[in-house]
Amino acid sequence: MVFCLCTSRTGNMAYLDQSTIVISALIALAIAIWCHPLSSRSSGKLPPKPKRALTLRVDEVPIDKAHAAFKSDLETIIGRDQALENDTISILQHLLVRRDRKVACGTATFYTSIPASELLTRLHRASFGFQYRFDIKFYGITPLYETGGAADVDVIAVPGLGSHAIGSWKSSSNNDLWLRDYLPDHIPDIRVLLYGYDSTLQGSDSKDSIEDLGTRFLETVKAFRADMTDRRPIIFIGHSLGGLLIKEALVRASRKFDDPQNHRLCTACYGLLLFGVPNLGLRNEQLSSIVKGQPNEGLIRDLVVDRDSEPSPFLKRISGQFSESCKGRYRVISFFERKLSPTIQIQPDGTLAKTGQKMFMVTEKSATSTGLTAVADENNIPLNTDHSGLVKYERGSQAVFTG
């Protein structure tokens, strides 16, 4: 039996661990699905650079490659490059997940002081004889976990503005990734898919709008699930801007319902977990100054509130269309922050850092105004953390079970 997360009509709730709350919500959605199935070089003069963990994606892995053989291949590649062999202490983690019927996708975490771009170059150069492709941006879909048998549910996670598809969900104190490392312990028979996209703030040369990003996300998900899994139930997880991409994708799919793929995706979608999604806008005036004059200026203008704290025309439009197209179809649980977040500022050296005034990046009202809930606070849950921490959890936190 699973203890259900309960809130009172006044919005008060029992004091539960943050990850307990989130995993409990996911378990509730998963159980409902099962109960109601849906049809560089060192000069020696400088101090050594500190080592840190870097996670890479490895594509084009043969479908029949065993985990041990995959790790052995990586060690062979590292051994061919003297700098890699000397610097990389170990492969901290490695995982293989089926991408389609022919190839698997691997993720590997290296403990190294070599810059990411140089690490990629050296791995590519040393991987002759292997068909592997190394990547660190994680754009598109990365299959992160799949149960040994046929999965019953797809969990698809979309990160926020300027975030990394891996880093967004990683613990702030270690390399644990809750979607990979302990969510499957609590919800068996799932497949976890990460979606990554380019929403770089500084120096961006992209004119992508939120509509563009949402449309691309929709088409990517449909293409990935075209291998006989397009009827599998979906739970979407969105952090900040990622939640708006999910909403845009569902609106577009529902408005072209005569397309069989769109119809199947809308029918398969069971629930949404939305973390700090700025339905009524994001509060961060510094973002506008950071992107001023860049092609992505329009995207930020659509995302942040104006001087009167009013949402942009885009946010008003997507909110109305989402309510009109999707109300009553999906279960939605919205999480909102209860701690202030430091805002981003441009530093004297031109880099960005979170050194600005602290504020609630996304207010409770903005995070919970999805337009889908019948009761104002029915599925709205506060978490005692800041905006970034909404989706970062530590290992050891347990969901609530009884035997």
pLDDT, residue 89, reads 63
Average pLDDT over every residue of 116-138: 94
Residue 369 lies in a domain: yes
Instruction: Tell whether 25 and 63 lie within a shared domain.
Output: no
> What CATH number did the domain enclosing 77 receive?
3.30.70
Average pLDDT over every residue of 87-95: 81
From 70, 105, 135, the end of a domain falls on 135
Poorest-confidence range of 18-27, 199-208, 278-287? 18-27
- CA dist 244 and 317 (Å) reads 12
Residue 367 lies in a domain: yes
Is it the case that residue 139 has pLDDT exceeding 70?
yes
Is residue 288 within 8 A of residue 301, CB to CB? The reply is yes
From 104, 135, 166, the end of a domain falls on 135
Give 326 or 8, the one with higher predicted confidence.
Answer: 326
Residue type, 274: L
Specify which of 13-17, 25-29, 137-141 reaches the highest per-range mean pLDDT.
137-141
Instruction: Tell whether 257 and 357 lie within a shared domain.
Output: yes
Residue 5 lies in a domain: no
Instruction: Tell whether 174 and 104 lie within a shared domain.
Output: no
Q: Which tokens in the block code for residue 349?
A: 């050296």
Residue 44 lies in a domain: no
Terminal CA-to-CA distance of the chain, rounded, Å? 6
Residue 42 lies in a domain: no
Instruction: Tell whether 225 and 179 lie within a shared domain.
Output: yes
Instruction: Tell whether 213 and 294 lie within a shared domain.
Output: yes
Instruction: Tell whether 273 and 380 lie within a shared domain.
Output: yes
pLDDT for 248-286, tens place per residue? Answer: 999 999 998 888 999 999 999 999 999 999 999 998 778
Instruction: Tell whether 221 and 156 lie within a shared domain.
Output: yes
Residue 121 lies in a domain: yes
Split at pLDDT 50, 70, 90, the class of 11 is very low
- CA dist 20 and 8 (Å) reads 18
Instruction: Tell whether 28 and 105 lie within a shared domain.
Output: no
Q: What is the pTM of this model?
A: 0.88
Residue type, 187: I
Is residue 383 within 8 A of residue 9, CB to CB? The reply is no
Closest to 237 in 3D by CA, of 156, 139, 142, 165: 156
From 110, 135, 160, the end of a domain falls on 135
Split at pLDDT 50, 70, 90, the class of 36 is low
Residue 13 lies in a domain: no
pLDDT, residue 9, reads 42
Residues in the chain: 403
pLDDT for 289-342, tens place per residue? Answer: 889 999 999 999 999 988 878 899 999 999 999 988 888 888 999 999 999 999
Instruction: Tell whether 83 and 163 lie within a shared domain.
Output: no
**27: burial class by Cβ within 10 Å (0-12, 13-18, 19+)?**
buried
Instruction: Tell whether 312 and 387 lie within a shared domain.
Output: yes
Coil vs helix vs strand at 253: helix
Instruction: Tell whether 131 and 156 lie within a shared domain.
Output: no
Average pLDDT over every residue of 10-26: 67
Instruction: Tell whether 230 and 344 lie within a shared domain.
Output: yes
Structural domains of the chain, count: 2
Is it the case that residue 387 has pLDDT exceeding 90?
yes
- CA dist 8 and 152 (Å) reads 32
Domain that residue 128 falls in: 52-135
Residue 399 lies in a domain: no
Give 211 or 348, the one with higher predicted confidence.
Answer: 211
> What CATH number did the domain enclosing 340 receive?
3.40.50
Poorest-confidence range of 20-24, 123-127, 335-339, 340-344? 20-24
